[in-house]
Each structure stands twice: as C-alpha cells, then as structure tokens.
Chains A and B, each alone.
Chain A
C-alpha cells in the first residue's frame, strides 16, 4: 500500500511535458487506429433533428456560419449535417447562408464544396452564399428588419436582384427556419435576441462545447429548438441523419482524451490526499 502511495505521490511531481505526451497519444492513437463506438443521441440533439425534420416542404432556411478555423472541428460537421438533412429528402428547401464571422465565409465555401459534390445543386436556385458582413448584433437586427439593406450583392458580388431565389426574401420573417453554427460572440446569443425572439422564426443552434452552458437556458425555455453541443453533438447528429462523417470518426479519440483527463484528476487528487494525510501525521 505504502509503495503504491509513493508511486502516486511521485507521479504528482512529474514534468508537465510527460502529461502533454500522454494526452497527445491518447488523442492521436485512436485517430490512427479507428475504433467504432456506439453513439447515443442526447435529447437536445434529437430536438434539433426533430425541428429540422418538421420544417414544411419548400421552406427557406437560413444557415449562419458564425465560426472560424479555430473551432471548425466542432462546428463544421454540424453545419454539414444540417445541410445534408435539409437536402437529403428532396423536399425543396432553399438554403441561404450568412456569416457573422469573417472566417465564416470560408467555412461556408468549404462546406458548400463538399455539399455540391454530394448533391446536384444549382447556385442561386438551391442555395445562395450571401457572405459576411461585419457588425455583430447590428447585422442580425438589420436582417430582421431589411435584409436588402445589409446585402445588395452576394459573396461573389452578384446583385441580389438578379438572384432568382432571393425573390420575396426581404427580412428574417421570410424564413421558416434558422440555424446558427456558433463559436461565441457574435453567434447564438445575438441570433436569439435580435433574430428569433423578435420575429418568432424557429431557431436551432450548434455551438462549441465551451459555449453550450451559456446558452443552455434558451433551450429549456424554447427560445432555441434544441442544441448541438460540440463535436459529440455533431457526431450525434451524424448518427441521427445516418451519414457518418468526421465527427463520428473523432469520437474514439474524444472518449480516450476525456478518460485520460479524468484519470489525471483522480490521480492528482489521490496524490493530494496522501500528501495531506502524511503531513498531518508528522
């Protein structure tokens, strides 16, 4: 027992680089040797799925790309998942893309590139990339009031008036559903406060893990129709629409990473209690 305690205490003073290597390996190894783990969708992800599923046919759906490369692994699979879900059943939905983050423009480009390879889409008839406008909440408020003052051209500089699917789209009230892939400010908060609440258009969101807890109360109050929480949330959505992608592939690495960190916490606390007790004794 004492020997074991000594090892634990000694491990407590190990160089932090050893910890870095361990966590690095815990994430890297499962990525190199993929392991299949069963994914269980949580109720809040299920609510997003149900909300998207219950949009009436031939709806106008607004997707906002409010994230950048730094949080891409978490949110990119969500926006892809939502688009795949919208397009998969051939229900005539049209997709309108806006970005509150400058980087969102590039994320949207990349996502559309993938989606265009999978589905037979026509730009300006099935989807339009309106692009980025700086201004955070002021942009959302502007869109809620008059979209055509914020966007007169799309990202490729095509005048809005020449885009067939923009006919009849004047503000957020002309959409039947909105989704924001949000990495912080501006994002979910702004869409709820200035977009969904004033107009009543149903809004769902996929957020980074870090932001989930802040916006969680919106989900319970119904201001948000469900939420996808971080990469595991994205994996759950991939499972729900039955299209495995990068999020599901990452779940083994995610699991092992968590396990290693929990072990660190437990070991660290054991070391702490053992030293405490020994100090009290002597």
Chain B
C-alpha cells in the first residue's frame, strides 16, 4: 500500500508544490534545483517513458503473433520494422564519413565496408582519404547517414501522408455533415466559409460588389421563404440591384470597397474581433480548468495516475 499508493501521492504533492512555489521562492539553492535539475529529471524520466511505450507496443504485437490473432502477419511487419530501425539507431551507427584532407569533398557511407571500399578506390587514383565514423549521438542526424535516410524515406512519407489523408475526409464531412440547421450552425458555417475563402489569394479576386449583389439575391430568397409576398421580393431585389449599381458607378467599382463586403477584409475582422472573443473565452476557460486540475493533483485530490477514480 505504501509503495503503490502513498509514495506516488507524496511524490506528486512534494515535487508539484516545490515546482509551483518555486516560482515565488527567492532561495538560490531551491530555485536552481527546480529550474534546472528537477526539470532535467522530468526530461529524463519522460525519455524512459518512451522506452516503456516501445516495450509495451512490442509486447502487444508479439502476443498477437503468438496467439495467431487475425492480422498477425501485419504484426510481424511492425516487429521487423521496429528491430531494423532499433539496430540502425543503437548498434549500426550507419554514418561513416570519408574525407579528403584539405578539400571540401566528403561523402557519407552507410557501412564501414562501403567507406573502406571508397577509400581504396581513391587510393588507386592516388588520393588519400580518411574515414571518420559519426560520433554516437551525432549519428542519428548525420546527413547521408542511414538513420537520416530512414527518417527521410520511411518515417517522413508515412507520418505526413497519415495527416494528409484527413484532407479527403474533411471534404467528405463538409459535404455530408455541415448543415445550417439553425442560427448557431449557420453562424459557424458562414464564419468558416469566409475565413476559408478570404484567407487565400483567390478571395482577393472576388469583388465586394459581387458579394453585395449576391447578398441582395440571398436576402430576396429569404424574404420569399418567410413572407411569401411577390411584391415585397420584387421590390427588394429591384431596389437592391439598382442601389448597388448606383453606388458602384458612383464609387467607381473599387474591388476592395466597401471593405465590409470585401472577403479578405471581412475575414480579417471576423478573425481578429468576434473570433478572438470566442477564442479568448476558450483560452481563459481551459486555463482555469488546467489550474484547478493541477492543484487537485498537487493536493492529492486527483489520483487517476495511480488508477484511482
């Protein structure tokens, strides 16, 4: 009980309050510990957590293979990929730099053997070159090295495409799910559409006058739907069209005036004014939530991390 419950709760309480109150304490020793060492420990433990994650993943995939669960063949693929990259990262180094002294010429080889072959090749043509293996730690980021090659050609396309795939689902959802069912939904959609069009170059090609004409027609349709009076609709549309046209010829049809109807300007207003108000309320709301949750952790009221409800 002590090991499993009380010590973890005490650790959270002790280090949590130390970190929190460390912001206000003027004691060099405590401050240095919190600002530097405590955060370093956090970073180190977080790194171990990554290893734990990898171990758990392996365990899961191995079990799947051993129990011959459906799709176990793919688990073999996952396990193999893990071990290949693990070997490259921890044992192979995969970056051997062949350098011709006194020149800028250097190239990197995946294996010691390939590097030696290149050096011998150069020797045949009378050039002496040296091999420097990338230092452990630097090998993962050496240009031309195997780990960087793996990152560029395997990790990059996979992670980038996973995210890009969502573009298609956003399109499909915008077609099927976003309905202007009520006033709130209409506001949401309108704000979204104005931001979408107003923020890209094509939005600045749409004249404010076109938007005004469009508005006259849309309001006409609304009048038709709600009042069902032909005279009213006709009167509004006729007056509206004439009004916009007269105003336009009077002002000389500038594409971005009046600014309220010019999408890039309107977009900017929505983005920086009403949207900001909503975003700020969300930011303050989340902020208060985070503060309260953090304090609950520190004071031992919230114990979900040890499995308590």
Contacts and interface: CB of A to CB of B under 8 A. Distances in A.
Is there a direct interface between A and B, measured as CB atoms under 8 Å apart in the complex? yes
A69 B143 contact: no
Given A40-B201, A142-B35, A220-B272, A258 B138 contact: no
B39 A106 contact: no
Contacts of B50: 134
B200 A258 contact: yes
B176 A268 contact: yes
Contacts of B152: 106
Contacts of B193: 262, 265
Interface in A118-150: 131, 133-136, 138-139, 141-142, 144-146, 149-150
Interface in A209-229: 213-214, 216-217, 220, 229
A141 B174 contact: no
A149 B197 CA distance: 47
Shortest Cβ-Cβ A-B pairs, 4 listed = A135-B43, A145-B35, A255-B202, A37-B201
Contacts of B174: 261, 264-265, 268
B151 interface: yes
B271 interface: yes
Nearest to B23: A198
Dominant secondary structure at the B interface: helix
A43 B142 CA distance: 39
Contact of B141 (A37, A109, A260, A262): A109
Interface in B121-177: 135, 137-138, 140-143, 148, 151-152, 155-157, 159-160, 162-163, 167-168, 170-172, 174-176
B200 A138 contact: no
Interface stretch (B111-119, B234-242, B273-281): B273-281
A64 B164 CA distance: 24
B178 A265 contact: yes
B210 interface: no
Contacts of A71: 163
A19 B39 contact: no
Contacts of B137: 153, 157
A266 to B, nearest CB: 8
Contacts of A216: 271-272, 275-276, 279
A106 B147 CA distance: 11
A10 interface: no
Contacts of A255: 200-203
Contact size range, B: 35 or more
Interface string A43-61: 1100000000000000000
A50 B233 CA distance: 50
Nearest to B201: A37
B141 A251 contact: no
A268 B50 CA distance: 44
Nearest to B180: A269
A178 B176 CA distance: 43
A131 B32 CA distance: 23
B255 to A, nearest CB: 11
Contacts of A131: 141
B268 interface: yes
A19 B35 contact: no
Contact of B201 (A251, A264, A269): A251
A153 B138 CA distance: 10
A144 B271 CA distance: 32
B179 interface: yes
20 contacts: A19-B168, A19-B171, A23-B171, A37-B201, A40-B201, A42-B268, A44-B272, A136-B46, A145-B36, A146-B32, A146-B35, A149-B37, A155-B138, A156-B138, A220-B280, A259-B202, A261-B171, A264-B174, A265-B174, A269-B189
